[in-house]
Amino acid sequence: MTEIIILILIGIAAGVLSGMFGVGGGIIIVPAFVFFLGMSQHEAQGTSLGLMLFPIGILAAYNYHKSGQMDLKAGLIVASAFVIGGYFGSKISLDLDQSILKRVFGVLMLLISLKLIFSGK
């Protein structure tokens, strides 16, 4: 049950940030899978591709699935929550001044970069 709650939170967060900044999979979902669910980098990437299967990379996702590097359940849960988060993120973003939005996005990118650089794994 805890895993499902984490997956839903990842989907909502990714959806909100996607709606606000146009980002999601590689910047939000993949690191969240690695840091919060302990997935390998390959499994996180494969699962992220799987949840965005039809709109982005059906053939790439197929290769990850075929090699056992995709958690289909996690991908489906996050994809469902992502839709909801995307709606609310776009609403928030459209109400923010462009200069604030750019700064918030820059800080987000910086924090994620520092976490990836210094995580030691």
Q: What is the dihedral of CA 74, 88, 34, 76, to 10 degrees?
A: 10
Query: How many angstroms separate the CA atoms of 38 and 31, rounded?
Result: 10
Nearest-Å Rg of the Cα atoms of the chain is 14
Ranges of the chain with pLDDT below 70: 22, 24-25, 53-57, 121
Residue 48, pLDDT score: 83
2-21 vs 72-95: helix crossing angle, rounded to 10 = 40
pTM above 0.85, yes or no: no
Q: Is 58 helix (H, G, I), strand (E, B) or coil?
A: helix
- Domain edges within the chain: 2-118
Q: Residues 10-25: pLDDT tens digits?
A: 988 888 887 777 676 6
For residue 32, what are the CA distances in angstroms to 41, 46, 52, 66, 116?
Answer: 10, 13, 16, 23, 11
Q: To which residue do tokens 């992220």 refer? A: 48
